[in-house]
Chains A and B, each alone.
Chain A
Amino acid sequence: MSPGVIRAYILKEFRELLRSRLILIVYILPTMIIILFGYGIRMEVTDARTLIIDNDNSTISRDLSARFEHSRYFDTRVTSGMGEQEALKRIKQAKVDILVIIPDSFEKRLLHGEKTEIGVFIDGAFPVRAATMQNYVKGVVYDAARSLTDKKPTNLITVNNRNLFNQAMRDEDAIVPGLIGLILLVAPAILSALLIVKEKEEGTIFNFYSSPIKKSEFIVAKLVPPLILHTVNIFILFLWATWLFEVPFRGSFLLYWAASQIYIVISLGVGLLVSIITRTQIVAIVLTIIITIIPGFLYSGMLMPISSMSGESKIEAHIYPVMYFNHIIYDTFLIGQGLDSPKNRLYLAILFFYAVFLILLGSRLMKKETA
């Protein structure tokens, strides 16, 4: 390999990237994804619009309503005397998420030790969200019920629950590290595929075909610019995660960096393979997005933990490199075991193997000739 040839080619790539303003996309796209998805995906429910129809208007019913009103999970309005039909209409019109109906003589029956029922209607259009809201409502009601009968032995056991690694159960902590993995898989692949396919589409690839430039020189020259440019994104994304989204970082930054760097090389390898089978830039972009975003999202552990997958999906998850990187990245952010964990060491080795394999495969399949 001749360093002079490679340097000349890389210089040309940077000039073109700057002058065609493609460089803006290199830095805007990752930031855009992390901000859009970081704010956009919310599993947690807060401020559910709740309408309480208090037909009893007693001390106990008002206490119950107050518990709803004081919770950040509900945005509560209390009314009385509204008909059930009218209230349900509000749900249909999507003005209300939760409807709680407290029957009349609610307090009287309770004080007499009789059973009573509270009517609860929940907008179930999004099942996950509905289940969450249902649990919230139950929690409030049971809590209220318990405080009514303080001295019964059933209340001697309480659960002292503590969620490890994400104590506050923040969505940001659960999603943003996964987004970094998604972005570092998608963006470098698009750029490297573009840099090669652009020459094919415009015809300048003939300069490579007809000159003594070696295939290895060409590939290095094409992959180094995206590698350098996206390495900067490793740091930018880290800043967004810890500063904008306030995700804690408990592990080793060196491990985060090293794993991300290897992951970018994997992404470049994907881009290289795409550039071999495509001829036009638009097809290259679409294909890269399809083959990176779908596994990058599904097997990221963001939507569903890999450990809860079974059968084919579990096998697929193990085939794509996404899972290995995400394991490491969640460790560096939330857990901090680092290389002490044998699993992290194994996964890092697997990522390294992937990177080498994809680049070698791409170099092997690329032809220095026209079809």
Chain B
Amino acid sequence: MAELEIRGVTVKHGGITAVKDASIYAERGEIIGLIGADGAGKSSLMHAAAGVIRFEGEIVFGGTSFDSPREAERLKPKIGLMPQGIGLVLYKNLTVSEHLSFFSKIRSLKEDAALNDYKQRLLKMAGLERFTERPAGKLSGGMMQKLSLICTLIHRPSLLILDEPTTGVDPLSRLELWKILEEISESEGTVTLMSTAYMQEAEKMDRVYLFDSGTIIASGTAEELNETVKEYVYEPVACRSDRCIAAGHYTYSLDPLEAPHKEPTLEALFFINALKRGVEIPEIEVSERESEEPIPQVVMEAKGLTKRFGDFVADDHIDMELKSGEILGLLGANGAGKTTFIKMLLGLYPIDDGELVLLGRPIRSAKDRQGLKARIGYVSQHFSLYKDMTVRENLLYFASMHGIDAKKASSRIDRYAKELGFASYMDSLPTELPLGINQRFSVAAALLHEPVVLFLDEPTSGVDAIARSQFWQMLKLLKRKWGIAILITTHYMSEAEYCDRVVLLKEGRKVADDSVENLYKKHPAAKSFEEIFLHYYEDGR
């Protein structure tokens, strides 16, 4: 019998079934991946396995079986759960070392030299040994996740349950999280259940389970799973039927195409599954803008832009240029200064040093920004929508904020809803929407006044592959049809390849600024953009 067996587990929230009849097994030392769109039931199943939610069915771990949270109490000393959300289980005011001591005490661990050594080892693995006195609230997202992970590991759990520990985390921190994980599962024989939105990670796992609307629809190693969809994956070509989707560097089709096959990645599973189930994936469209607006050649020009927070320099003399009709990707680890930079451009933070020219106008005071706001669109990391208003009400509100008259606004909103594929959600609340829809509707809100430049701060974190591909489709169309300039930050290195040019920030400094092609030329050994990113980050460490 396997170390962990989840047998026919069903989880219900209120009256809604989140997971239905799910079965998973894992052997000692295995890392098991759970993948699937947002809301597919991964978290619910992980909560059931951690014994923190009621469920039907049975879970057996190490020969002990349980069927309710109460029964699971006996196993809790052996279980470690890291729920979804950056720094979710951390207390913002407590320091790193206070966290470790709190977690070891609530686990009633014996305070001895061995525990101390183990703590030091964990701190070192997480690269946090220099930050033991820093409050958790002042750590970057990547550091928070590493701290959460080592706090979860402090009692040496033999069943480790990690819910999207790497979402919203930069590639370098992700790599470090993985290193910790692999080391622990090897040395301690830990069984790990882990959900992830990064398919490259899923490919490294011992077995992967694919979730779709609450059921597990496929499982196996990455190779086995890729094998099942291989015949449907082609080099990018145009589609002619609705049994076919063209998405970025791939085309997926159920019917044979006149095109060479391409080696699939796990992302293909999502598309093929959607095609097989006949799920309608709305074609994204963008029509010409209604207003004629001359767009200057250079939309934004920053020279030596600097932001300091006390002694800490968040952005250190950054030069950047954004041209019209260009998608510029702003990359960097958590805490490298990306969000700060965008906030300076928007006037949300005062600029400490340097020059900024926006849409041809030098910005020296808040006064210079007057009138510019009508030409800028912005979507923040946490989509700033009103949770108690429906999608339509939100959009009407944003339109009236921009002084667009009601009739025009209403027709524009309907057009966006249709073109961007959220028409059927117009009367739902934002909290009821899948993340991917939320994200497109947030962009729609930022487009209502037809801006000439769009700033997007990590719009795709946690969004599934299909929605991400639609999102990029939308950005490309906006660029082509509107000639708009787009500045976007992301942690998905595969997305960087869709940008015309990328700027890489590291600890507040610019370390690269070039087109994707040129960067590949400079680093001929790199197999993926992620490797190029890591190359810049590992230098000088």
Contact = CB atoms under 8 A, between A and B. Distances in A.
B339 to A, nearest CB: 21
B179 interface: no
A12 interface: yes
Contact of A210 (B81, B98, B101): B81
A19 interface: yes
A5 B50 CA distance: 20
Nearest to B75: A212
Given A15-B94, A206-B52, 8 more contacts: A15-B93, A16-B94, A204-B88, A206-B89, A210-B51, A212-B77, A370-B47, A370-B53
5 closest Cβ pairs, A-B complex: A8-B105, A203-B88, A210-B81, A19-B93, A209-B52
Interface in B65-115: 69, 73, 76-77, 79-81, 83, 85, 88-91, 93-94, 98, 101-103, 105-108
Contacts of A369: 51-54, 69
Given A15-B94, A204-B90, A206-B88, A212 B76 contact: yes
A12 B76 contact: no
B106 A211 contact: yes
22 contacts: A4-B105, A5-B108, A8-B102, A9-B102, A12-B98, A12-B102, A15-B94, A19-B94, A20-B93, A203-B88, A203-B89, A204-B89, A204-B91, A207-B89, A209-B52, A210-B50, A210-B52, A210-B76, A210-B83, A212-B77, A367-B69, A369-B69
A368 interface: yes
Given A206-B81, A212-B76, A5 B52 contact: no
B13 interface: yes
Nearest to A199: B91
A202 interface: yes
A101 B80 CA distance: 85
Interface string A1-39: 010110111011001100110000000000000000000
A194 B77 CA distance: 28
A207 B136 CA distance: 15
Interface string A215-250: 000000000000000000000000000000000000
Interface string A117-136: 00000000000000000000
A368 B69 contact: yes
Interface string B179-207: 00000000000000000000000000000
Contacts of B89: 203-204, 206-207
Contact of B88 (A2, A12, A202): A202
B108 to A, nearest CB: 6
Contacts of A8: 101-102, 105-106
B106 A5 contact: yes
Contacts of B103: 207
Interface in B303-362: none
B98 A15 contact: yes
Contact of B91 (A2, A7, A16, A368): A16
Interface in A341-371: 367-371
Contacts of A19: 93-94, 135
A370 B98 CA distance: 26
A203 B81 CA distance: 12
Interface string B107-143: 1100000000000000000000000000100000000
A213 interface: yes
A371 B18 CA distance: 12
A12 B83 contact: no
Contact of A4 (B53, B76, B90, B108): B108
Interface of A: 2, 4-5, 7-9, 11-12, 15-16, 19-20, 202-204, 206-207, 209-213, 367-371
Contacts of B81: 206, 209-210
A72 to B, nearest CB: 54
A209 B163 CA distance: 15
A153 B69 CA distance: 88
A369 B83 CA distance: 13
Contacts of A203: 83, 85, 88-89
B106 A9 contact: yes
A210 B47 CA distance: 9
Contacts of B77: 212
A212 B103 CA distance: 11
B61 to A, nearest CB: 14
Given A8-B102, A368-B69, A210 B80 contact: yes
Contacts of B76: 210-212
Contacts of B80: 210
The residue among A5, A203, A369, A371 with the most chain B CB atoms within 10 A of its own CB is A369
A211 B79 CA distance: 8
A209 B51 CA distance: 8
B518 to A, nearest CB: 42
Nearest to B157: A210
Nearest to A367: B69
Contacts of B106: 5, 8-9, 207, 211, 213
A193 B47 CA distance: 25
A12 B88 CA distance: 16
B69 to A, nearest CB: 4
B71 to A, nearest CB: 12
A224 to B, nearest CB: 15
A4 B93 CA distance: 21
A5 B52 CA distance: 19
A12 B108 contact: no
A210 to B, nearest CB: 4
Contacts of B102: 8-9, 11-12
Contacts of A202: 88
Given A5-B108, A206-B83, A207-B106, A16 B52 contact: no
Contacts of B135: 19
A7 B105 CA distance: 9
B93 A370 contact: no
Contacts of B73: 212, 368
B167 to A, nearest CB: 14
A210 B79 contact: yes
B105 A5 contact: yes
B101 to A, nearest CB: 8
The residue among B90, B91, B102 with the most chain A CB atoms within 10 A of its own CB is B91
